[in-house]
Chain A
Amino acid sequence: MTLIILGLGSSALAQTYNTFEPSKTQFMLRGYGHTGFEYLDTGGEQESTFLGATFAPIFLYKHSDKLMFEAELEFELEGNELKTGLEYADVMYVLNKHMTVRAGKFLLPFGTFMERLHPAWINRLPSRPLGFGHDGIAPASDIGVELRGAFDLGGPKMNYAVYVTNGPRIKDGSEEPEEAGMLDFGYYEDVNLAKALGGRIGLLPLSDSSMEWGISAYTTNSTGAEDSDYKDVGAFLWALDLSYVKSITPLQGVVDIKAQYNSSNVDTATYYEIEDGISEPYSFDNQSSSFYTQLSYRPIMSGSDFIKQLEFVGRYSDFNAPEGAEWEEKSTQYAFGLNYWLSWRSVVKLSYQTTKMEGGHDSDGTTRTNGLFVHWAIGF
């Protein structure tokens, strides 16, 4: 009898143990969040505020060794409103060792900042460079299909990505006259039959992969609705990006350089502004550009446990919107930061940023904004 009980017990134990074996399909919740404090002085007008926490959960569902679904949600407090967003949601399949196909809403490989570097726990400064984000000229995400992959060239490496997506919508000024001629990359519904084509080629010329150069292009023949006057307004954008990350013994630390130049060329079109109740046509050469370069240094070889967790950051960025547009703007920004890394995925950032903006649809003159930021970001 005792043997029977022991036998049944061991069988039950074995079954219980088996339930902890890894399953073929795996689900994982990752993501990041951040919060902070900001003090801004805009032309003598001051404001300060604690920022509501931003929460960005990432859902990873690994169906097999080749098939995966990934999605990222965004929850952010803007004033009293909870803003939600779907950063990306796509399914991917590894076709072979050099090619993966993705379909759905995905981050666009236009340069590297929006695809790889913008999450708060990766971005070394609390803010984004000029030209990215709201009213930026660099596309961040879209709905479509993409092929991507990488090759080992016997030391150097190369990676590529090509995609076709719904493409942007041009703002015709009917809803926001001050933004007429601006491309709206956040409008995901396809307004015409044309699609946007894009891609990026990255080259890592050094065998230690410390340096990567990338060139990106993005084009579409139509940005207006099928039945609108802007149907034939096309756009061509291109970008150059650089990354250099190297542990340098004489400097006792890691040097990290990032840079990206974006150029946007939209076909010239006629827009309308209302002056004294009369609709006046106008047009402009619709070309924009932006640039940023960032240098950071982490003294990881320091003998002090405190100092090796520090990081010093500096960034320059500029943004030039078309002359003659209602949103004409020339801005330059300098940002300096001191970070303390609590772990490889949690950082407290202290930074000072000064921005000089000429024009812009909020002002006709020159505006200088100085800001002090303290942010705490964590990846999980």
Chain B
Amino acid sequence: MKTTTNFKAAIILSVMASIMVACSSNKKPIATDTATEVAGSEVDFKIEKSGAQLWGEVCNRCHIAPSPADYNDTDWETISLHMRVRANLTEEEITKIETFLKSAN
């Protein structure tokens, strides 16, 4: 029982720590290349992730990322809509992943 209690305590503490990190973090994926900065402007530029990068990050959260060659464009459209809802992905994530899969199959 002590082991169990420790596990539960660990998970609750980790939740709190994670939320604190998320809330306190000011880090944003900002382009550091000065060439992309606008002179005299404080506008931050978010680095746009590619579809290939999102495919590697997002799909692997539950299962191994699928091979683009295993389905044709039409099938990827159907699968993308299904996975958008099943895995609760953002519109940007699934649009980019679908575009990548259709370009690489």
Chain A residues within CB distance 8 Å of chain B? 22, 26, 28, 30, 60, 62, 65, 68, 70, 92, 94, 97-98, 100, 102, 109, 115-117, 121-122, 148-152, 154-157, 159-161, 202-203, 205, 207-213, 215, 240, 242-243, 245, 254, 259, 261, 291, 293, 316, 318, 332, 341, 343-345, 379
Contacts and interface: CB of A to CB of B under 8 A. Distances in A.
8 contacts: A65-B81, A68-B81, A148-B85, A155-B29, A156-B25, A203-B19, A210-B57, A293-B7
Given A154-B28, A291-B4, A28 B89 contact: no
A60 B57 contact: no
A5 B86 CA distance: 52
Given A26-B77, A154-B46, A155-B29, 20 more contacts: A22-B73, A28-B75, A28-B78, A68-B85, A94-B85, A98-B91, A102-B85, A109-B88, A117-B62, A150-B90, A150-B91, A154-B28, A159-B89, A212-B61, A215-B15, A242-B11, A245-B60, A344-B64, A344-B65, A345-B66
A94 B63 CA distance: 24
A261 B29 CA distance: 32
Given A159-B88, A240-B11, A343-B67, A122 B81 contact: no
A26 B57 contact: no
B21 interface: yes
A26 B78 contact: yes
Given A26-B74, A70-B82, A116-B87, A121 B63 contact: yes
Nearest to A65: B81
Given A22-B73, A150-B88, A341 B64 contact: yes
Contact of B22 (A116, A121, A148, A203): A203
A262 to B, nearest CB: 11
A122 B61 CA distance: 10
A116 B82 contact: no
Contacts of A341: 64
Interface size class of B (residues with CB under 8 A): 35 or more
Contact of A155 (B18, B27, B66, B78): B27
A344 to B, nearest CB: 4
B12 interface: yes
Contacts of B62: 116-117, 122
B4 A122 contact: no
Given A203-B22, A245-B60, A92 B85 contact: yes
Nearest to B16: A213
> Taking each of B29, B67, B73, B78, which has the highest tally of chain A beta carbons within 10 Å of its own beta carbon?
B78
B63 A156 contact: no
B29 A60 contact: no
Contacts of A102: 85
A242 B14 contact: yes
Nearest to A63: B81
Contacts of B91: 97-98, 150
A132 to B, nearest CB: 16
